[in-house]
Amino acid sequence: INGQSAALAQRIADMEIARQDQIIAEAEQAAWQQAQFWMQHNLFTLPGANATHSTKYPLIWPLQQGTITLLFGPCIQVFEPPAFGYKHFHTGVDVAYKQGSPILAADDGVVVAADTSVVGGQLVGYGNYIIVAHRNNFFSLYGHLLGFQVKAGDSVHQGQLIGYEGSTGNSTGPHVHFEYRYGGQPTNPLPYLPPNGPTTFSQ
């Protein structure tokens, strides 16, 4: 009986994890759908490369110092929903530093979403997030923010303050979830970033 009870308890736990995964996945999908909706219903022009744009790298780190706590790819964290055939897949890079640290735009672009993921009155998924559209059909997302410095429709340049590091949504502590997408497909941002990790702005 003890074995059956343990098996039942495990099954219930697995079902709850699957339910949470579904809620998170739907909340994150809704964030991207909102960005697409805004783009379809608003006129905007993507800016050209700003004079202060890095000449070496397409992107800069949104946190200029901190620790990379989770890379892009398959993972064991239960907060990460399924993707690419994996049970749990992290669609960005997490960088942790002090709560309230400035979050910078990784590239020039236009803010197409600055909002909150809420399901049933609870902050879930990305929590407070910003999505920026860039040239050539690239997009960046900054999740779990404490607050915003921009709104949808704002043009931003690389290195501009756009928000503050927080721990909103499904988060284990203060950090920024930095996601980079080509079209609608999550892409590993590391090849586009300075290779020495979060650091001072590098030309």
Q: Looking at the predicted structure, is the pLDDT value of residue 192 above 70?
A: yes
> Which of 187, 116, 121 is CA-nearest to residue 145?
116
Question: What φ, ψ does residue 192 adopt, rounded to 5°?
Answer: -100, -5
Q: Looking at the predicted structure, is the pLDDT value of residue 78 above 90?
A: no
Question: Could you tell me the residue ranges of all domains in the chain?
Answer: 2-192
Q: Looking at the predicted structure, is the pLDDT value of residue 202 above 50?
A: no
User: Residue 92: in which H helix or E strand, if any?
Assistant: none
pTM to 2 decimal places: 0.84
Q: Looking at the predicted structure, is the pLDDT value of residue 10 above 70?
A: no
* Secondary-structure breakdown of the chain: helix, strand, coil percentages, each rounded to the nearest 5: 25, 35, 45
**pLDDT tens digit string along 92-120?**
999 999 999 999 999 999 999 999 987 77
> Which of 108, 107, 101, 110 is CA-nearest to residue 167?
101
Distance CA 133, CA 114 (A): 12
Measured CA distances, 121 to 113, 155, 158 (Å): 20, 31, 34
What would the two tokens of residue 100 be? 């309230």
The residue written with tokens 């607050």 in the block is 147
CATH topology of domain 2-192: Glucose Permease (Domain IIA) (2.70.70)
**pLDDT tens digit string along 23-55?**
777 888 888 888 888 989 888 888 877 778 888
User: Residue 9: in which H helix or E strand, if any?
Assistant: helix 2-41
- Which pLDDT band, with edges at 50, 70 and 90, does 7 fall under? low
Q: Answer yes or no: are the C-beta atoms of 63 and 200 closer than 8 Å.
A: no
Q: What is the pLDDT of residue 200?
A: 45
